[in-house]
Structure 1
Amino acid sequence: MSWGISPSVMRLVWRSVTALWILLLSTQADEEVLMNTKTETSDLKWTTYPRPSGSEEASGLWEEVSGLDEENNSVRTYQICQSDGLASHWLRSKLIARRGASQVYVELRFTMIECSSRSTHHRSCKETFNLYYYQSDTDDATPTHPAWMENPYIKVDTVAADYLLRKGGEKKFNVKTLRLGPLTKRGFYLAFQAQGACMALLSVRVFFKKCPSLTRSLSVFPETIPRSLVQEAVGECVRNAALHGPKARPPKMFCAEDGQWVDQPSSSCTCSPGYEAGSGELECRACPAGHFKLSPGAGPCSPCPESSHTGEMGAAACVCRPGYHRASTDTLDMPCTRPPSPPHSLFPQINDTSVTLEWSEPVDSGGRSDLSYSVECRVCATTSCLPCGDSVSYRPTQRGLTGRSVSVWGLRPHTTYTFTVTAVNGVSLLSVQGPASESINITTGQHVPVLVSGIRQSTATESSLTLHWPIPTHTHYNILQYQLRYCEKQERGVEEHSCRYKESVSNHVVLSDLRRATQYEVQVRARTQSGYSIFSQAKSFRTLPDEDVSSSPLLVTGILIAVGMILLIAVVCLAIYCIRKQNRLKDPELSDKNGQYLMGQGVKVYIDPFTYEDPNEAVREFAKEIDVSCVKIEEVIGAGEFGEVCRGRLRVPGKKENYVAIKTLKGGYTDKQRRDFLSEASIMGQFHHPNIIHLEGIITASCPVMIITEFMENGALDSFLRLNDGQFTPIQLVGMLRGIASGMKYLSEMSYVHRDLAARNILVNSNLVCKVSDFGLSRFLQENSSDPTYTSSLGGKIPIRWTAPEAIAFRKFTSASDVWSYGIVMWEVMSFGERPYWDMSNQDVINAIEQDYRLPPPPECPSHLHQLMLDCWQKERTARPRFANIVSALDKLIRNPASLKITAHDGAGPSHPLLDQRSGLSSCSSVAEWLRAIKMERYEESFIQAGYTSIQLLTHINAEDLLRLGVTLAGHQKKILSSIQALRIQNKSPNNILY
């Protein structure tokens, strides 16, 4: 039966299924058995306690007997049926070598009789037993050592039966698997304690799990025994693969405690040149014949480029076929090419002693685009031809011609010349045959005028030369024109590209546009009806250098007058400034109560777009319209209130292309939504400051409507700080804060209130420059009252954690409320993006602020910065600093870095509920809850396994202990140690006092 599937497709499906099956098999955990009583053929001879005396019967003690397992095979078992439940009966195995395992598993098969079915039933009858273990480096156990008690033995668990034997009931055995560890010594003993049970221990199997050898992602990992919860395994690249990249590291993978490989390997292995990945990245196979792979990497093999081949497998490059070549600048993945054919249809135009040659391009360019031409001139006598020499000039040049014509000047009259035009490309020199060329013989016209000689200089300036020469006599024709060739003479001589030509009908000429203090070589020749004569012998002339200022009294006088006028203007401006400043100090209406001056006439003031009768007019006035063809959207990076936020490129004619952020207005919008969306653009368009997000323009003439701003590579400040927790120094953080304060100072001076200043609304670029953004909540600051405020509309959303108390209570927003919000931003920055007031509800935050609670200093926060935060959080808004004061204070800290080393310690003063909230102490009763409170729950299992099972034990942890627990990130260490410090403080200070 045919399904219509081609054989190639069937082979591909079979390979994929095979690779998947191999992968599934390779991930199964391996087990290595350390002990199995079912395989023992002789007596186990384990140690029991108490041991029976010589005359005492073994009744009620552990007894080794023979029995049959479920497959009727003979096995050795231990059984006990205590008649007196008051005694504790022990059974201990022989020493079991752990063979490098740190965690082992014990599989127990046993039966147990129900207490109600026993004839000697008493209250102490139990249906459980205990499992212990004891570690030792030597087989030193004796009937009396170690002591038969829980310490030195370590208890594993109390084992209860799932199935109990009863009279007339079904006979089922129990299977329990328990885990032991961590094991550190060479071996260990197992011990079983019965305290009133009637049971039979049918078999004991001790084993550990290990990860099998694995091949994945072109890496081979060896069989690995997990030494801890997760064991790192270092692999190596498969055959014909190698590490690739400047920072490549050996492949790594993690082996879990249960013998399973965890996640995908971190591997930098790639197939070597000439090999490609195959069988689901399990091997690197050679490229087939006719294919190649130039560099290491994940790409497949490619067919050989045109005019190249390879006859062997595993080729890193293909060789050119005979007659084809690659230039030195060609890469090995480019096609092979050959030299061009010769140019053809060479056509001369003779003008007495000058010739213009034209030709057609070669029929075959050789497959290249770097075609050029060169011209060779030879003068032929009766027997031989010699090069024309320097007396002949070429326009535009002799070699490297990209056009198909050239003019040759300065030929001798009535002389036979041979001109050869050669076509060359990048591989012409590699050809055995050499470049292809086409030649032609021509004979020049009759005798031309005699040489012009005797060039003299009339005058010279910094940029010109005036030259003249005598008119030649005894000429056969009238002189129609003179031609001069003048060349700038460099230290290494005269270069052809620096030569220029000038024609004149008289025997004098002015050469202009020359360089000062430069020597020029000048030649002249005459043109008659029979053509040009040859150039005269070159003569040198030099332009003048700059004139000395001291040698020109008029220039000195002019300079002195100019300097005097400048000084006079400066004095007048200074006097006007002083008079105006004095008037302002005397006029109370121009001064506010804190000594800061309102902006005078001529200073730009923010204009609220909502004051316009037509809001679209504000958009047209403050935002530039951009043609939609200049914007290219590349990817969506987020979502805003009105639509998506994208990253793209902006290419405005005449300017460099740059990345931009694009806010789009989703379809189906109302007129109000469109006005609200564009109002942010009409607000941003009024601001021009390095710490305020820059508006590039808007697009309203097409759909969707867009707002285009500069692109900030690192995104929002809060998420950026959380991503780089502990990675910045205090001076770097202060630099960020200074930029934010500078931007807010600019806004406040423009009488603008932001209302939503928070780290989430600060954007960071690649140079760590912070810029204020998101002007959706802010409004114009009215100046027509003694108490300038903004009253929001009822029901307006307010960010409680960042808002000043008077703004929360009375909806009164001022620049002083922005200062309060700035203090919260300072706390966010110094805590690397921690949420202000942590998990407290908004109502709790409001109540705490009303009771004069303030946020404590973040870990390692400089004291000066926390004091500045407290100044920003003054209850009376008139007592808060202005943004100009904040910028000045931060500048002083930056100029004095030593002041940032004085940190604010939580334990320096009494504690208060917010400190307890931050440390997670007020409601945490366990280590797990404490770790979740400080968002470090990833380390929960490590803490528990290390024995930290109570809050009291945590106070003894130090930095070295954290490293042993696997806490290696510096930011996580700081956060945990800070919280532990708070734990110690709470233990020392039983009373909570207001901060």
Structure 2
Amino acid sequence: MDMKATGGELGWLTWPLDQGDKPGVSIVPPFYTYSVCNVAEREQDNWLRTTFIQRRPAASRVFVELQFIVRDCNSFDATSLTCKETFNLFTSESDADVGTTFRKGQFKKVATIAPDEITSKNELRINTETRVVENLSRKGFYLAFQDIGACVALLSLRVYYKTCPATVKSLASFPETVAGGENQALREVSGVCVENAVIEDLPRIYCTVDGEWVVPVGQCQCKPGYEDVKDTCQECKPGFFKAEAATDKCEPCPANTQRLDSGASSCPCMDGFYRAPTDPPTGPCSGFPSAPQDLIATTTQLSPGNLLLSWSPPEDTGGRSDITYSIECQRCEGTVCQPCGEKIRYEPASSGLTDTKVSVSELDAHLNYTFTVEAHSGVSVFASQAMPRANKPPSTSDDNLDVTTYTVLILEKNSVKINDLSPGTAYLFRVQALGSDGSPGGSSMEEQFETLLQGTEKNHITRASQMCCIFFYRKRNSHTRQGPEDTYFSSSEQLKPLKTYVDPHTYEDPNTAVMKFATEIHPSHITKQKVIGAGEFGEVYRGILKAPSRKEVAVAIKTLKPGYTEKQRQDFLSEASIMGQFSHQNIIRLEGVVTKFKHAMIVTEYMENGALDRYLRDHDGEFGSFQLVGMLRGIAAGMKYLSDMSYVHRDLAARNILVNNTLECKVSDFGLSRVLEDDPEGTYTTSGGKIPIRWTAPEAIAYRKFTSASDVWSFGIVMWEVMAFGERPYWDMSNHEVMKAINEAFRLPAPMDCPSAVYQLMLQCWLQDRSKRPRFGDIVSLLDKLLRSPESLKTIADFDPRVSIRLPSTSGSDGSPFRSVSEWLESIKMSQYSENFTCAGVVTMDQVLQMKNEDIKNIGVRLPGHLKRIAYSILGLKDQTSTLSVFAV
């Protein structure tokens, strides 16, 4: 609405019609203006109204930008007694253009407009001011300007609303969206996957009041055979593939696979190559291993009854590393051969061998033994269908097999004649003596011979492919094997004393602590994927860590926002110095830090289900007591580990417990934590700082003395949060009310359906005398007992709904009766069922009070926890004589 650009009147309405704002050029030539300057006249009330401005339906908030000039009152003579230096902005909504009809009563004031700079006689000062008009709801509106005695000229007026522009993020397209107003600071928008992408998690993003997109949630993934290229899904090039809908790029087809056309989701194996059943479909294909090499058999002087077979690995492994070996044995009498049977003993085993040797015992004398050693790999399962092989007798040659025939002869004389030897074959002989008591004596050196084609013997040998040994047989000696319990008790790791936590703040240079306790990661090994939250120091991302020689893992990445001070950087990295000292399955694991580059980062393991309190609220009523106690046991185990290291957390709460996809809980957030001082009290005293009142023990609030016992108190609150599915401790009580109630011996009541044994443990954690509270070791032991005896969880603690879920008895928070069903549902955090009640025709509180348990189920409330919350709330609204049995669930 730039009047200069328009070049003519805008058709705006002035009031009174015969005076007030007039188009002209009197004040600011050569600009076209609306101006008024009746400073010498009393009781000025001049109005200028725009034409009807139509509103886009979603634009409930518009911005009004004014360019104007106000004359300095001091520049007029003394007769200008009514001179003002401000004017007013008004607005009026309407569903239709009312033409020239003008009534001041229809307008409401938006703001008083005052200039930053006033125009004098000699110097022109143009002001620009912007005001916001909120909560517009009708089809259009008018703006009006009221002058009450100023000398003012309106140069231009711009009315606009803000939008978040159409965009593509995480392979999802989001439409242009009008920014929300104060009552909807973040407007959630759902996206649509781009072409050739599929939904992994419904993509959503938020439009801020300033027209900026923030916090993308969920994402689309390019479907198999496609990859993300600048927010589009493009086909994999020929010779490349992608097997799954994921963020990965297309990869070259692996070794021994067929290269297909573009858009391939897999690369099948070439003829003669295979994948093992356990191989990933994206991995290379491999062939069968060749035969083992250089198979030999020897006896030892210490164990003459044992035959030691050894060999070399196959020359060709088929491209695999999972090579194993198996031994087959046949014994032959004359021309008849049969399997050796179970009598023959193999040490360590006859199959699944990873070493290239095996000891064989329990052999009989005067028999020929044929041992066949075969190499196997993960693809050997396909050998029978790919390379069928006819059964062959042991004496026939097989290019794929090394065959050793071992003959045992027991002699009572000092000579022997060996008959029926194969012509052109090498043999090795050894003689072992046996004492009169059967004990083994010395043995001869191995002698090698080779038969001629005519069967005569020769004292030269060129290759020992078969062996004939003469020795006296001795029973296999047993030996003791170490049991698994021996390994446990003798393990040096188990016997090491538990290390003690070192406070990084004791280091003169905090960077030294970071270097000592945390691993430095190069930022090129980290890939950020999406924002999952915001911490005290900056945003938190989900991402991928791919370090050299390590498997790719999902991680959470804490970042330090730009413009930080050196102290903020040190405080940020101190948490890593703390976490780096811990190693326990119930403590969040530090992967490493980035400190040697501009943007500092802390990288931890990624916990898929996020914070415990939010997770429980989102799954209210979906878990039984056994599962909830299992979660608590994990938290207690982590806290026992910290306590054993002389470490106090100080901020133990469900919001600081993270949950992974197997529902394993891990303690995190060590921002408030400090080490125990080495004094008899074992306390840490601070001089200031924030304390989480609802979770903190009374002595820690009163004297700022924190111990493991105060952490036990906090653990009791966490137990209550878990059993109440994320309910806020002490509900809507103020911090002052909470402290007063605790000092007056009030304790949180048992949550709904809480086992009595669990609630009794909570009360033990909340004993006023900290020396009487259980230790974390005691808590872990008790929770273990409850989990081993699930029947102990069936006894439920007494429950009073009016206290236990903080339900108002008959009224809203201000003491007045609930005005609507939706207001009542909002008060008990069940607003999601408002539509269910409306659709069922339950629209008044009188109708609510008549509902029974079946009525609640019939309108669509199915989750047990939600059903009970609504039912108990109705009980609280009813007369005190109503019976609980009506609402039993």
TM-score bracket for this pair, using the shorter chain length:
0.3 to 0.5
Q: TM-score, normalised by structure 2?
A: 0.47
